[in-house]
Structure 1
Amino acid sequence: MDVTKSSKAAVYVESQDFDGPKVKGYDFSQASIDYDALFESYNTMGFQATNFGAAVSMINDMLAAKSCPFVGHEMSDIRQESGCTIFLGFTSNMISSGVRENIKFIVKENLVDVLVTTCGAIEEDIMKCLAPHQIGRFDFDGKTLRSKGLNRIGNLIVPNKNYELFEQWLIPILNFMYDEQMENKEIWSPSKMIQLMGERINNEDSVLYWAWKNKIPVFCPAIIDGAVGDVMYFHSYEKEGLIMDLTQDIRLINRTAVGADKTGMIILGGGVIKHHIANANLMRNGADFTVYINTAQPFDGSDSGATPDEAVSWGKIKHGCKEPVKIYCEATLVFPLIIAQTFAKYHKNQSANKKCNGGPAL
């Protein structure tokens, strides 16, 4: 028996033809760096870089569809101004970090239609208008920080005094809500409360301010899971009976999805924000465009780690649509770059087109 021959046959199984792009990275030997070409090369880089390229393409498709005339149902109480209704979901740590400024740009320029987030994002967007978060280190000792009244979010530091400022700011709003309920039978939902907060903060650094200004609803199904809930708890001993109606919001977000011509989901992180957006899109038999960015894995059966294909099985992503994208990455690393290649370019082009047509710039 020819051992070498049989071994080679085992190693070199006959290849089938495969039609795919050539793997190739960016050539840095050029005289200057072409950043558009650099990011374009991600498509053929492989691994998560290729998923980055696919996410850029997917979001640009959402924006192209957004520019088309809307032909869906008419519902006066929801945003239905575009051919693609874009849902942007993000966990609170995105607002803790500098991604807040990136999200603010998207909201200020009216480039998405619905926001879904967690309680920490609501309070920290307001808190940052009152006092800054600061950069620390991941390995700061928790016991020492506690003794100094300093709270750590990863490598960010938030002093307790910032939460005290937030409580002082929020109490008058809760008083107003309570009085409106008792005197005028106004029943508040989380999104109505958040809208009021955006109006009252009156600060252009705030995501919530621009959401209020542009009439973009902000949904927070876990509104009491954080400092907002803490302040509401303390307030309830002064004025008991304030009602928060979640049913108003589930009707509004679901009807927004159902009434849309097309929908796109961009979801940074997992947990309740990921599921809340996907479940709203279930009501219309799935989203047309989907981008997930998170580090969660599917092996434990969690919704955070669930792949886009799992969402297809539930009807939360439309079967037969453009292949959904998941980037396995921590969002602060890639989302600013994605914005540069999508929302920022789209906004610049829209502004240029308005100028050329004699209209005001955005």
Structure 2
Amino acid sequence: MHLNVFTDNPTVPIDVKDRSVSELMDGMLKTGFQGRKLAESVQAWHNMLKQENMTVLMGLSGAMVPAGMRRVISYMIQERMIDCLVSTGANMFHDSHEALGKKHYVGSHLVDDENLFEHGVDRIYDVFAVEEEFRTADNLIADFAEEIGEISCSSREFMYLLGKELVRRGAAEDSIVVSAYRHNIPIFIPALSDSSIGIGLTIARRRGLKLDIDQIKDVDEVTQIVEKSGKTGVVYIGGGVPKNFIQQTEVIASILGMHIGGHDYAIQYTTDAPHWGGLSGCTFDEAVSWGKIAAQAKKVQVFVDATIALPIVAHALHEKCRELKRKAPIFNWKGPEGLDIDYRE
């Protein structure tokens, strides 16, 4: 083996000049460490969107909406940079809260939390929120659930109905839930009870409502998306339940004999590390051993705060995808007959 095998691709120092965000990302492909990984993630995401018969699933965890990321995710839905969203319930609750005109507030982590409690203010690191406003939203969800009545549905079906209700109430169009409703993007919340949406539904249950969120139906429906897609790419913001919920679709499909091979593209932005053994930090190489990620898949993990990465990545993709005529999947949910997928511009 010759030395030039290792030395035929020199790094190129970043120079400072007038250029776009996407041009900066292209320049960072020749740098090192997490800067290069961030640039590689943009490149991989852009290439993923150019693939035929590709379905992109995003896992969203962490307090991204309180931290100001909701319009980034909403934009990605509207521009079909993602086709399916798997989220924590908390993010979708906070999104609905803001969609109806309420706010989160710039705060500080250097504060007396007992004093905040006495004033009815909740803290998410350096972001504040008003507890009474949250409780109003909890009761709004309870009232909405009572209007739906006694049904059994997946979280996807529930979130579609919630999106429809938010539109009826004049919610902001930059809402994640509203954008998903408008663009027929499924939202799954596999741990919906672990959120203020779950609190609202518990209030409704105490009032006598029998509404069942069928989480096994969630597993079946999201697995159908993977089974019936030509190719699949995954993007994880953080890890947690949303990451594993998407990852396990490949295992389920393989057991059922419907789909073998693993996801074709995989991108993650995380601050978790693999050596603690948790799924949030585990590498995509490890996921290959489970059959969750294809061995030949383009795999990029960026160890970075997602509130830094997401705005940069979104702006770079905004510039790169202006001329892209993507054929995005159109989902047709046919009740007991299952799911049909068609790819259209």
Report TM bin, short chain.
0.7 to 0.9
Residues 342 and 200 (structure 1), Cα distance of their counterparts in 2 relative to 1, 3 Å cut: same
Residue aligning to 2:336? none
Residue aligning to 2:225? 256
Q: CA deviation at 1:249?
A: 1.3
Compare 135-144 and 285-294 and name the one that shifted more.
135-144
Compare 301-310 and 187-196 and name the one that shifted more.
187-196
Q: Which residue identity is paired with 2:116?
A: L
Q: Which residue identity is paired with 2:177?
A: L
Q: CA deviation at 1:107?
A: 1.0
Q: CA deviation at 1:37?
A: 3.2
Residue aligning to 1:146? 117
Residue aligning to 2:256? none
Q: Distance in 2 between matches of 1:177 and 1:24?
A: 59
Residue aligning to 1:169? 140
Residue aligning to 1:134? 105
Residue aligning to 1:26? 14
Q: Which residue identity is paired with 2:238?
A: G
Question: Secondary structure, in 3 states, of the residue corresponding to 2:219?
Answer: helix
Deviations 1:288-320 (A, max 9, x none): 001010010111111011011111111110012
Q: Distance in 2 between matches of 1:237 and 1:225?
A: 17
Q: Distance in 2 between matches of 1:163 and 1:45?
A: 44
Q: CA deviation at 1:167?
A: 2.2
Q: Does 1:107 align with 2:81?
A: no
Q: CA deviation at 1:270?
A: 0.9
Residue aligning to 1:326? 301
RMSD between superposed Cα atoms in Å: 1.9
Q: Which residue identity is paired with 1:64?
A: K
Question: Secondary structure, in 3 states, of the residue corresponding to 1:318?
Answer: strand
Instruction: Return the match for 1:55 from 41, 54, 59.
Output: 41
- Superposed, 1:71-82 pairs within 5 Å as none
2:153 and 2:212 in contact (8 A); partners too? yes
Q: Distance in 2 between matches of 1:335 and 1:58?
A: 14
Q: Does 1:195 align with 2:160?
A: yes
Residue aligning to 2:192? 223
- Superposed, 1:292-303 pairs within 5 Å as 292-303=268-279
Q: Distance in 2 between matches of 1:164 and 1:319?
A: 47
Q: CA deviation at 1:331?
A: 0.5
**Higher RCO (Cα < 8 Å, 6 or more apart):** 2
Q: CA deviation at 1:241?
A: 2.6
Residue aligning to 1:88? 58
1:289 and 1:321 in contact (8 A); partners too? yes
Q: CA deviation at 1:240?
A: 4.2
Deviations 1:79-99 (A, max 9, x none): xxxx10000111141122221
Unaligned runs of 5+ in 2: 254-258, 326-344
Unaligned runs of 5+ in 1: 1-14, 69-82, 352-361
Question: Secondary structure, in 3 states, of the residue corresponding to 2:250?
Answer: helix
Residue aligning to 2:236? 267
User: What is the percent sequence identity of the aligned residues?
Assistant: 25
TM-score, normalised via structure 1 length: 0.82
Q: Distance in 1 between matches of 2:264 and 2:113?
A: 44
Deviations 1:149-189 (A, max 9, x none): 111112111111221221232122110222xx3xxxx4222
Deviations 1:69-122 (A, max 9, x none): xxxxxxxxxxxxxx1000011114112222111001111223321100001012
1:43 and 1:50 in contact (8 A); partners too? yes
Q: Max radius of gyration: which structure?
A: 1
Question: Secondary structure, in 3 states, of the residue corresponding to 2:80?
Answer: coil
Q: Which residue identity is paired with 2:64?
A: M
Q: Distance in 2 between matches of 1:215 and 1:34?
A: 32
TM-score, normalised via structure 2 length: 0.86
Q: Does 1:159 align with 2:159?
A: no
Q: Distance in 1 between matches of 2:144 and 2:319?
A: 34
1:92 and 1:119 in contact (8 A); partners too? no
Q: Distance in 1 between matches of 2:206 and 2:22?
A: 57
Q: Distance in 2 between matches of 1:34 and 1:241?
A: 53
Instruction: Return the match for 1:310 from 286, 289, 304.
Output: 286
Deviations 1:191-215 (A, max 9, x none): 1111111111112121111111111
Instruction: Return the match for 2:310 from 306, 316, 335.
Output: 335
Q: Which residue identity is paired with 1:54?
A: E
Question: Secondary structure, in 3 states, of the residue corresponding to 1:289?
Answer: strand
Q: Distance in 2 between matches of 1:240 and 1:167?
A: 15
- Give the number of the structure whose residues are more often strand, by fraction: 2
Q: Which residue identity is paired with 1:168?
A: N
Q: Distance in 1 between matches of 2:165 and 2:319?
A: 28
Residue aligning to 1:74? none
Residue aligning to 1:206? 175
Compare 164-173 and 290-299 and name the one that shifted more.
164-173
Q: CA deviation at 1:35?
A: 4.1
Q: Distance in 2 between matches of 1:276 and 1:110?
A: 21
Q: Distance in 1 between matches of 2:234 and 2:190?
A: 17
